[in-house]
Amino acid sequence: MAKSATHTANAPQPAGPYSQGIEANGFFYTAGFGPQVPSTGEVADSVGDQTRQVLNNVKAVLVERGLSLDDCVKMTVHLSDLANFAEFNEAYKEFFSEPYPVRTTVGSQLANILVEIDAVAAIPDGR
């Protein structure tokens, strides 16, 4: 199986031995991204604003590979507190249209952030 990595300065840099994105077998997988602004490391206070930044970080890696959020087929979301689901969901839906990617949302112990998201995108033929 051939795989290739994608890297961009427009998303937070890996904090360990992992790639921002990997292409393999017709799919593109992103790392789990937090809400850090890539240029400053700043993190917003609200789960809504953090969700928007996380999705912009995911989007940056997709764009670097020539993809978009519309190509996503699966999203995995980690929330530090599931009580924040409604606010998260309102921000999340700003980024997607039907048919929505499938999604799993779980409560997770996160380090000083409220949300982390990773994505799986299908690579259209010819891209």
pLDDT tens figures, 84-110: 999 999 999 999 999 999 999 999 999
25 within a domain of the structure (yes/no) = yes
φ/ψ (deg, to 5) at 20: -70, -35
The mean predicted confidence, pLDDT, of the chain is 96
> Given its phi and psi angles, is residue 26 left (phi above 0), alpha (psi -120 to 50 degrees) or beta?
left
* Full residue range of the structural domain in which residue 105 is found: 3-122
φ/ψ (deg, to 5) at 36: -70, 135
pTM: 0.96
Looking up residue 77, the CATH number of its domain turns out to be 3.30.1330.40
127 within a domain of the structure (yes/no) = no
Q: How many domains does the chain have?
A: 1
20 within a domain of the structure (yes/no) = yes
